[in-house]
A and B are shown apart, each in its own frame.
Chain A
Amino acid sequence: MSMTRDTKVTYGLLALFGIFGPILFPDYTLSIAYLWMMVLMASTWDTLGGQMGYNSLGNITFFGVGMYVSAIVQVSFFYEGGVAEYTSAMGSIKPEFTPAEYFWGLGLGILAAGVVGLVLSVIFSSFMFGLRGPYFAIGSLGLAIAVAEVTITIDYVGGASGISMPLFPGDIEFRSTFFYILCFVLTIISHFLLRWLYSTQFGLAINAIRDDEDKAEAMGIPTLAYKRIGWAIPAFFMGCIGAVAGNMAGFIDKEVAYPIPTFGIFMVAMALLGGKGTLWGPVLGAIIFHVIKEATWTYLLNLQWVALGLILIINIVYFQQGIMGWLQTKYPERFGIVVDTSTVTDADGKEAA
């Protein structure tokens, strides 16, 4: 993985911010944790949406499923009564987990959440990838709504009344620092995995699928297999981050686990704002979006959702190429893009050589 000087500086600055941000501004630790979470969501959405051209509106499904799976794992491993008894008590049972039990449960829960997300995505792949363009987007949105609606009919996981997560063994500052580190580390892992993947043959193959799937298939690329992997990676990370988010929230129900109109659409908006189909676009978009979101939260009390909706519309309608796309057309040479001047007509309208 060779890096240019700019990239190294960017990583350095981000690492400095990631490490010293919560130390310097301890009140904002959880807010910065959500920032990394959104970077992860936007980046992994971009694998499927930007790099592979399958615009999903349903990646949030894995987030919610991950949340519920980790809750089940965390409760069932160390509480003798079982999950059904725990959820039917509606939060009145507060099992005392020792720190070791809690952290083991959490670790296993996150891993299980990722794996279940991955398995689920492979199952979905079998009946979703015959859909193209808008049908895939609508189908995946339908999938997310359907899974959310089915979840609240299952009494085992608390039905419509939700589950309260096990209590964190430690004080509130340690709690936020701990979840901050989890979010930060997961985001770093996902970023470098994607960075590496986009530089391999896998990256080329999914880009080929985006550009012309029929031709890609004709060239002998096993498109379905690549598409499965292309959805399994986002699904795994969405499951893991869902498990973390569930524990951060402390209580999960349909609204927390399947935030389709909020995070479900924000991740798409962030990737588009930064510029989809690039590695850095979603990161940049997530950072800008999060700053705007926090600012509107603070200064525009009841109107914050209206403001976010407006931002989304303006972004999509008037500024679709995104920041990275705009920069690439403005300064192509900074991105190592060689503009072939031989076919570009000069100012007089004559062909230059």
Chain B
Amino acid sequence: MWDNLQLLFVWAPIINVQVILDGIFVGAVFALSAYGLALVWGVMNIKNLAQGDFVIMGGYMALALHQLHVPLVLILLIVMPLMFMFGWVIYVLMIRRIIDQDMFVSLLATFGLSLLLQQVMNLIFGPEVQTIDMELPVYDAFDNMVTVPSSKLITLGLAAVIATGVIIFMKRSRAGQAIRATAQDPRAARVLGIDIDRVYAFTFAFNAALCGAAGVLVSIIWVIQPFYGITYSVRSFAIVTAAGLGNLPAVIGAGFGIGLFEKYTGAILGTAYEVAAPVSILLLVLIWRQIQMRRNRQVVR
């Protein structure tokens, strides 16, 4: 650990650039799935523990399409509608029935869904770690100390485009307005003629599509494996708990924060700790929230 610290801050401080860049690349992806979670949580009070498995599922869809030589942008345009439909089906089959139940029920039901998806993906794609190799050029900077694969730059650009699209959609479109109205006050929205059930279904499906997009990006810049989903769920929960519901800029900020934290933990303590990093940051966020709340004799609920 001491050696790594010295390497980072004394011998070759330029490596920090690499770590920060990597953190930003993965943070952008985390922010997408976290925003989906915040949306579903805020609008319909469902805590989706299968979030990470939606991400991995999108990744595997991208992998399958890539093997058919479909270009990247087209992959995104195919995976997002597919995941949207999948989300809609899941809503009709299970989420609709647990929406007005105890909060723990949604957590547990989606955990069950998460196990189911993991196992099905394991059966179809096998337990190996896989990735999409785009065969794109890799740029070097600062005497080869920092490498920037252009696939990562493209990913960052795509994530930015998707996030912008989501912001405009939520602000401008009628569907976005209906979602925001339902989040504020479902009863009033119903009185004003909004079909709540459709809004819920749309929100959940939209979340699945966002996760699918994140999954496509993950499969390009990182690796996917059927059982990696849970860490994405944990990261999403950490981001949402830290950033609050329905605040997209804060979610993006927290996403970059977690990305950086994870990469620095990996760089300083070794890659063995990279899985523990998002979990420990979730615990730290929860403890921090408790300390904040305790000042007013409140609890985190």
Contact = CB atoms under 8 A, between A and B. Distances in A.
On whether the two chains bind one another, the answer is: yes
A132 B294 CA distance: 13
6 cross-chain pairs, A with B, having the tightest CB-CB distances, nearest first: A309-B116, A130-B290, A312-B112, A149-B276, A132-B301, A305-B119
Given A57-B111, A261-B118, A302 B105 contact: no
A127 B108 CA distance: 23
Interface string A57-71: 100000000000000
Interface in A114-165: 127, 130-135, 137-139, 141-143, 145-146, 149-150, 152-153, 160
A132 B293 CA distance: 12
Contact of A313 (B112, B293, B300): B112
Given A138-B47, A138-B237, A309-B115, A316 B279 contact: no
Nearest to B230: A145
Interface string B156-172: 00000000000000000
Given A57-B107, A139-B283, A143-B283, 5 more contacts: A135-B286, A146-B280, A153-B276, A309-B115, A312-B112
Contact of B109 (A134, A302, A308, A316): A316
A14 interface: no
A312 to B, nearest CB: 4
15 contacts: A55-B108, A131-B299, A133-B301, A135-B241, A142-B279, A142-B283, A143-B283, A146-B283, A149-B279, A272-B108, A303-B123, A305-B119, A306-B120, A309-B116, A312-B116
Given A142-B283, A313-B94, A316-B98, A135 B300 contact: yes
A312 B279 CA distance: 25
Interface of A: 55, 57, 127, 130-135, 137-139, 141-143, 145-146, 149-150, 152-153, 160, 261, 265, 268-269, 272, 302-303, 305-306, 308-310, 312-313, 316-318, 320
Interface in B114-129: 115-116, 118-120, 122-123
Given A130-B294, A143-B283, A317 B109 contact: yes
Contacts of A135: 241, 286, 300-301
B103 interface: yes
Interface of B: 47, 94, 97-98, 101, 103-105, 107-109, 111-113, 115-116, 118-120, 122-123, 230, 234, 237, 241, 272-273, 275-276, 279-280, 282-283, 286-287, 290, 293-294, 299-301
Contact of A149 (B112, B241, B273): B273
B101 A320 contact: yes
Contact of B119 (A55, A146, A309): A309
Contacts of B116: 306, 309-310, 312-313
A73 to B, nearest CB: 26
A78 B47 CA distance: 49
B97 A317 contact: yes
A261 B107 contact: no
B273 to A, nearest CB: 7
B112 A316 contact: yes
A145 B108 contact: no
B108 A316 contact: yes
A18 to B, nearest CB: 30
A43 B272 CA distance: 35
Contacts of A150: 276
A283 to B, nearest CB: 20
Contacts of A320: 101, 105
Q: Among the interface residues B123, B276, B293, which one has the most CB atoms of the partner chain A within 10 A?
A: B276
Nearest to A137: B107
B29 to A, nearest CB: 20
Contacts of A134: 47, 103-104, 107
**For chain A, what secondary structure do more than half of its interface residues adopt (helix, strand, loop), or is it mixed?**
helix
Contact of A130 (B234, B275, B300): B300
A317 B98 contact: yes
Contacts of A269: 108, 112
A130 B299 contact: yes
Given A145-B279, A305-B119, A306-B123, A131 B286 contact: yes
Nearest to B93: A317
B105 A316 contact: yes
Q: Among the interface residues B275, B293, B294, which one has the most CB atoms of the partner chain A within 10 A?
A: B275
A302 B123 contact: yes
A309 B108 CA distance: 11
A261 B227 CA distance: 10
A302 B124 CA distance: 11
Nearest to B238: A142
A149 B275 contact: yes
B109 A139 contact: no
A130 B47 contact: no
Nearest to A132: B301
A285 B48 CA distance: 25
A261 B118 CA distance: 10
B111 to A, nearest CB: 6
B276 A146 contact: yes
Contacts of B282: 138-139, 142
Contact of A317 (B94, B122, B294, B299): B94
Nearest to B272: A153
Q: Among the interface residues A127, A130, A318, which one has the most CB atoms of the partner chain B within 10 A?
A: A130
Given A139-B286, A142-B282, A133 B105 contact: no
Contact of B290 (A55, A127, A143, A318): A127
A328 to B, nearest CB: 17
A133 to B, nearest CB: 5
Contact of A146 (B230, B237, B241, B279): B279
A241 B108 CA distance: 24
